[in-house]
């Protein structure tokens, strides 16, 4: 244990988390706003009403600002994979390479080409070509997200591959299994629909500001109606896919489920914590609060009689439920790692007979491979940060429920045209914008902190994935990224606020947003 530089692991993790969290400030608005703009422009093309054209152009301006500031921030994550996580990058092989390459090509050709038509083409191409471009930008951005999230889903539930001990890489043997991995599909749908929720709340919040200022009121009401309807259906879908994600987590990542619920001892008819606090020791949490009887079992497996394992069951094992203890898995993982070493040595010396034997042992225990790195260590190191996972999950769920009520309210008030003058609701709409960003970030904390220490579930922990590089380099770039991303965020706020404040007479002025 003294040979592991935990500082290096933690700084590398912190840097990746910082980059990913900043990146995810920009992405969801792009994903959601692109569809809202496409819907608004469709109404313009259908009705021919120029007010809808101006409405589309205004939101397109804000979309453009967010897109320009956020573009390429994700590439830094790829830099980090290659430098800070080189063992991981080699180990995942083409499973990561293929989806990322498709994403790169799609993002470049679809988004770059059609975004130019969106912004420069209002008077250069026909209405229908322009509208098609706007829809293609929306579809293209969302498809880009599909490939990234398929890669992430594979890390949560590795499938569709075979490990090649000669190259020490995983090789994809079923592309469709990787793409339609249940973890990937649920993650993709949950993520993009939550992005639609964010964009809808953003549109409602900005429109509410116009109503408070009594400016561009017709435009604001029109925008609110579209965003309320889109947001309402999106939050329903987000909740539905969240339920799907929970079932996938229960099946493939039981420790994550135990951590987000603070469940120490598993049981049948396990209770769901609706609202509560977590105390106790780091790996022996005690939860107090309002609990819904049997709901966790029901939500996880569709049956309240089913057993949901807790942290204790997973660490210490539960023979009645057929759960191996972490120590048993560590032993098997160690066998697998040693067998890989023996195989490599046997192949080097040309001893094919021993190589075959070692390969069989390796394959038989491969599903526990990553546990082997904890040989001689405390198995509790395999338990994620329970408090962070628990609070992040519950904040996300509570905010999700609040957004559902919020959309019902905005939906009703927008349709009855009673938004104006309801200052409490208008201010609530504005203050819901930071809340939806918090929900997004906590969602990712649940997904990524909850699966620690796994970089690839059960196969590669972060201590095996990290590159042996100088810790000070990681620290320097951590603060460098922090400075650059904060500067970008400030620039985004400044330019966006200026454009919003400058927007006058959207209903009559031709020159709002983008070029003509």
Partner 1 sequence: MFFCNYFFDIEQLILYLYYVKVSPKYRYYHINMLKKIINFYISGFKNMPVYGRRLWLIILIKAFIMFAVLKVFFFQGHLKKFKTDQEKIDYVSEQLITIK
Q: Are the C-beta atoms of 283 and 311 separated by less than 8 Å?
A: yes
Closer residue to partner 1 in complex, CB, 197/464: 464
As beta bridge partners, residue 34 has none
Cα separation of 358 and 349, whole Å?
Answer: 14
List contacts with partner 1 (CB under 8 A): 1, 3-4, 61, 64-65, 68-69, 71-72, 75-76, 79-80, 82-84, 86-87, 89-91, 116, 119-121, 124, 166-168, 334, 337-338, 340-341, 344, 372-373, 375-376, 463-464, 467-469, 473, 476-477, 480, 484, 488, 491, 495, 498-499, 514-516
> Shortest gap between Cβ of 294 and partner 1 (angstroms)?
42
Closer residue to partner 1 in complex, CB, 61/452: 61
Cα separation of 5 and 388, whole Å?
Answer: 23
Closer residue to partner 1 in complex, CB, 73/186: 73
Closer residue to partner 1 in complex, CB, 243/331: 331
> Shortest gap between Cβ of 168 and partner 1 (angstroms)?
5
Cα separation of 351 and 356, whole Å?
Answer: 9
In the three-class reduction of DSSP (H, G, I as helix; E, B as strand; rest coil), residue 185 is classed as: helix
Q: Which residue has the tokens 């049981």?
A: 267
> Shortest gap between Cβ of 484 and partner 1 (angstroms)?
6
Instruction: Print burial letters for 128-145: b (CB count within 10 Å at least 16), e (below 16).
Output: eebbbbbbbbbbbbbbbb
Closer residue to partner 1 in complex, CB, 309/379: 379
> Shortest gap between Cβ of 3 and partner 1 (angstroms)?
4
Q: Are the C-beta atoms of 285 and 247 separated by less than 8 Å?
A: no
> Shortest gap between Cβ of 120 and partner 1 (angstroms)?
3
Closer residue to partner 1 in complex, CB, 90/237: 90
Closer residue to partner 1 in complex, CB, 178/335: 335
> Which DSSP symbol is given to 318?
B
Q: Are the C-beta atoms of 217 and 209 separated by less than 8 Å?
A: no
> Shortest gap between Cβ of 436 and partner 1 (angstroms)?
24
182, 378, 227, 390: which is closest to 296 by C-alpha?
390
> Shortest gap between Cβ of 111 and partner 1 (angstroms)?
14
Cis-peptide, bond into residue 335, ω within 30° of zero: no
> Shortest gap between Cβ of 181 and partner 1 (angstroms)?
24
> Shortest gap between Cβ of 134 and partner 1 (angstroms)?
15
Closer residue to partner 1 in complex, CB, 415/479: 479
Angle formed at CA 446 by CA 77 and CA 272, multiple of 5 degrees: 170
253, 250, 299: which is closest to 274 by C-alpha?
299
90, 92, 89, 72: which is closest to 81 by C-alpha?
89
- Angstrom CA distances, 294 to 253, 275, 291, 313, 320, stand at 20, 15, 9, 18, 20
Closer residue to partner 1 in complex, CB, 1/290: 1
Q: Within 13 A of 57's CA, how many CA atoms are on the CB side?
A: 23
Closer residue to partner 1 in complex, CB, 134/191: 134
Cα separation of 360 and 165, whole Å?
Answer: 11
> Shortest gap between Cβ of 495 and partner 1 (angstroms)?
6
Cα separation of 418 and 118, whole Å?
Answer: 33
Closer residue to partner 1 in complex, CB, 90/233: 90
> Shortest gap between Cβ of 463 and partner 1 (angstroms)?
7
Q: Within 13 A of 254's CA, how many CA atoms are on the CB side?
A: 22
């Amino acid at each position: 244990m003294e040979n592991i530089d935990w500082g290096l692991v933690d700084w590398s993790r912190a840097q990746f988390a910082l980059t990913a969290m900043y990146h995810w400030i920009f992405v969801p608005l792009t994903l959601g706003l692109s569809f809202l703009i496409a819907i608004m422009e469709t109404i313009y093309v259908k009705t021919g009403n120029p007010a809808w054209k101006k409405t589309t152009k205004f939101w397109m301006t804000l979309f453009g600002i967010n897109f320009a500031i956020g573009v390429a921030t994700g590439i830094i994550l790829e830099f980090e994979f290659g430098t800070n996580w080189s063992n991981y990058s080699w180990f995942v092989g083409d499973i990561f390479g293929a989806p990322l390459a498709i994403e790169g090509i799609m993002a470049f050709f679809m988004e770059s080409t059609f975004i130019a038509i969106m912004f420069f083409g209002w008077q250069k191409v026909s209405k229908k070509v322009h509208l098609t471009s706007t829809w293609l930008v929306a579809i293209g951005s969302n498809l880009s997200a599909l490939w990234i999230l398929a890669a992430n889903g594979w890390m949560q539930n590795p499938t569709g591959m075979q490990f090649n001990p000669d190259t020490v890489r995983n090789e994809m043997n079923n592309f469709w299994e990787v793409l339609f991995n249940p973890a990937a599909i649920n993650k993709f749908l949950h993520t993009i629909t939550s992005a639609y929720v964010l964009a809808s709340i953003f549109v409602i919040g900005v429109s509410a500001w116009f109503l408070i200022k009594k400016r561009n009121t017709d435009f604001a009401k029109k925008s609110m109606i579209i965003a309320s309807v889109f947001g309402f259906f999106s939050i329903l879908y987000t909740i539905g896919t969240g339920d799907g994600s929970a079932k996938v987590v229960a099946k493939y990542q039981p420790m994550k489920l135990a951590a987000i619920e603070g469940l120490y001892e598993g049981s049948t008819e396990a209770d769901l914590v609706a609202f509560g606090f977590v105390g106790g020791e780091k790996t022996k949490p005690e939860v107090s609060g309002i609990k819904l009887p049997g709901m966790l079992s029901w939500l996880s497996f569709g049956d309240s009689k089913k057993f949901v394992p807790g942290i204790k069951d997973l660490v210490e094992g539960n023979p009645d439920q057929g759960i191996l203890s972490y120590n048993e898995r560590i032993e098997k993982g160690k066998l697998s790692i040693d067998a890989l070493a023996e195989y490599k040595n046997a192949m080097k010396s040309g001893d094919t007979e021993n190589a075959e034997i070692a390969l069989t042992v390796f394959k038989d225990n491969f599903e526990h491979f990553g546990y082997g790195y904890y040989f001689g260590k405390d198995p509790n190191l395999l338990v994620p940060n329970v408090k962070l996972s628990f609070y992040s999950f519950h904040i996300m769920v509570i905010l999700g429920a609040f957004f559902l009520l919020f959309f019902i309210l905005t939906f009703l008030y927008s349709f009855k045209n009673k938004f104006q003058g309801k200052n409490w609701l208008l201010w609530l709409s504005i203050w819901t914008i930071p809340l939806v960003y918090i929900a997004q970030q906590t969602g990712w904390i649940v997904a990524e902190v909850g699966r620690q220490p796994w970089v690839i579930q059960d196969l590669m922990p972060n201590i095996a994935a990290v590159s042996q590089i100088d810790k000070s380099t990681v620290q320097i770039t951590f603060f460098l990224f922090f400075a650059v991303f904060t500067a970008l965020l400030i620039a985004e706020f400044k330019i966006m606020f200026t454009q919003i404040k400058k927007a006058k007479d959207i209903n009559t002025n031709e020159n709002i947003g983008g070029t003509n």
